[in-house]
Structure 1
Amino acid sequence: MGTFFLINNIFFIRFQKRFNLPGVIGCIDCTHVAIVKPDHDEHLFFNRKGYHSLNVQMICDHNLKILNVNSKYGGATHDSFIWASSQVEPYMRELHRHGEQTWLLGDSGYRQRPWLMTPILNAAPGSREEMYTTRHIQAKNCIERCFGLLKARWRCLLKHRTLHYHPHVASKIVLACCVLHNIALQAHLPPPVDVVAEPHDGGDDEAPVGLSAASSQDELMNGRAILNCLINRL
């Protein structure tokens, strides 16, 4: 089981042109891919919706191209744990450390960080915060559409289909489908006629991610400060 990650400066230029949000290089979320009950470590794959699955983290660009996929965790794993354990999190952290003003967009299930922007809940009507959150939601819808297109093309990933393989094999199938998804986009193949947005079905609320309380709080405050700067730029 593995991952891949692609990045190019053109990504955040396209996001800014389409959604008027500067610095965005991709959108992140998780989706469940149903599998049969494993023979071992069954509890790691039984998700909160009551079935066995892989909890697959993906990052896509403005054009629904998959930039990163991590399919090695079971359905019981929290989205935030997968993110903290991924190769992309330290990569984004390092970009920030070197002064790169780039970030991913995630939903409120992720922690606000200087390299990961989240929506502002209960923003005052007509405020800059509401404007930012509206644009955030519009842009982040790319990953939901990406899930929908991926599963519409490769229907073995749909919940009611269920992959009848060992989790390691199922993970490789997910990776293969993601590669084929990108090839189909590059070839400009028409999408299936019944593509629908994939509702969020990732992990539960946040879980501890191994940082000290002081370090985590510092990153949260730094992330909020950068978010405020981004809002003021809109």
Structure 2
Amino acid sequence: MKLISGLSGTNGFPGVIGAIDGSHIKIDKPKNDPDSYLNRKHYFSIQMQVVCDHTRKIRAIFIGYPGSVHDSRVFRTSPLSETLAEKCGELYLLGDSGYPCQRHLLTPFKDRCQLTENQRNFNVKLSSNRYVIEHCFGLLKQRFRQLFHLKLKDISLIANFIRACCVLHNLAVDNDLLVLDDVEDEVNNDIAVQAVGNIANNEEDEADNGDGIQHRNFIANNVLTR
């Protein structure tokens, strides 16, 4: 799937083609290897990795890992990881600090109380562009409320059900189906809760890529300061 459209130029952040994140879909306790589906929030879940663009349309999905698997590992073993350069070209995705910084996947500077003003500014601008992925998850789950807790038993059937919801979500986006104000409020509340959770999602940090670090530094020091 070619990643098209995006967030390029939004809030002074150049070259963004989309945002990436993972979301947990709650499921009942599986019969096979249940411990691997128990996530860090202590409920059983299946992982869904999503890339969305500025319209909240889903451009890439990867579903099926048990809930105990960290976002960075899901990304590393996903087909998107191997083809990201080809799909993004000169552009890139934005991710949270649970992902490694790469040339085509920029993440925040890790805050160890030594960030420069430019680095803090970079993190704020990145966060202000990344909110669309949280909003995408919120809209998807409000449209298909079964995704708050799927009662299906078969894992492959669960994955197919989630894919079908993503397809229908995109059709709704294409047809400009509006979300009611009260649902929008629920979505925004979900985003606030998820954002807090993302702060602690760094248990398995992977080493940042040299090209990614260089690109991030260039943007922080030479682009966002203008």
TM-score interval for Structure 1 and Structure 2 normalised by the shorter chain: 0.7 to 0.9
Runs of 4 or more above 4 Å deviation:
123-126, 200-204
Match among 209, 215, 220 for residue 226 of structure 1: 215
Aligned residues: 212
SS in 2 for 1:110: coil
- In structure 2, relative to structure 1, the CA distance for the partners of 1:132 and 1:169 (3 Å cut) is same
Q: Which residue number corresponds to residue 27 of structure 1? A: 19
Q: Which residue number corresponds to residue 206 of structure 1? A: 204
Q: Which residue number corresponds to residue 172 of structure 1? A: 160
- In structure 2, relative to structure 1, the CA distance for the partners of 1:181 and 1:130 (3 Å cut) is same
Could you tell me how far 1:132 is from its partner in structure 2?
A: 1.7
CA displacement, residues 26-84 of structure 1 (integer Å, 9 cap, x when unaligned):
11111110111111121221111111110111111111111111111111111111100
What is the distance in 2 between the residues matched to 1:89 and 1:16? 21
More helix by share: 2
Structure 2 unaligned blocks of 5 or more: none
Alpha carbons 1:79, 1:204 under 8 Å: kept: no
Q: Which residue number corresponds to residue 139 of structure 1? A: 129
Question: Is residue 7 of structure 1 aligned with residue 24 of structure 2?
Answer: no
Match among 68, 84, 88 for residue 76 of structure 2: 84
Could you tell me how far 1:126 is from its partner in structure 2?
A: 8.1
Question: Is residue 104 of structure 1 aligned with residue 102 of structure 2?
Answer: no
Question: Is residue 128 of structure 1 aligned with residue 146 of structure 2?
Answer: no
RMSD between aligned alpha carbons?
A: 2.3
What is the distance in 2 between the residues matched to 1:114 and 1:17? 18
Could you tell me how far 1:131 is from its partner in structure 2?
A: 2.1
Q: Which amino acid aligns with 2:142?
A: A
What is the distance in 2 between the residues matched to 1:222 and 1:129? 17
SS in 1 for 2:98: coil
Could you tell me how far 1:17 is from its partner in structure 2?
A: 3.5
Structure 1 unaligned blocks of 5 or more: 209-215
Q: Which amino acid aligns with 2:215?
A: I
- In structure 2, relative to structure 1, the CA distance for the partners of 1:95 and 1:147 (3 Å cut) is closer
Match among 3, 17, 40 for residue 9 of structure 2: 17
SS in 1 for 2:18: strand
Match among 102, 108, 113 for residue 102 of structure 2: 113
What is the distance in 2 between the residues matched to 1:125 and 1:35? 40
CA displacement, residues 63-107 of structure 1 (integer Å, 9 cap, x when unaligned):
1111111111111111111100111111114468xxx32211011
What is the distance in 1 between the residues matched to 2:76 and 2:120? 28
Match among 59, 63, 80 for residue 71 of structure 1: 63
Q: Which amino acid aligns with 1:227?
A: R
Question: Is residue 194 of structure 1 aligned with residue 186 of structure 2?
Answer: no
- TM-score for both structures, normalised by structure 1: 0.82
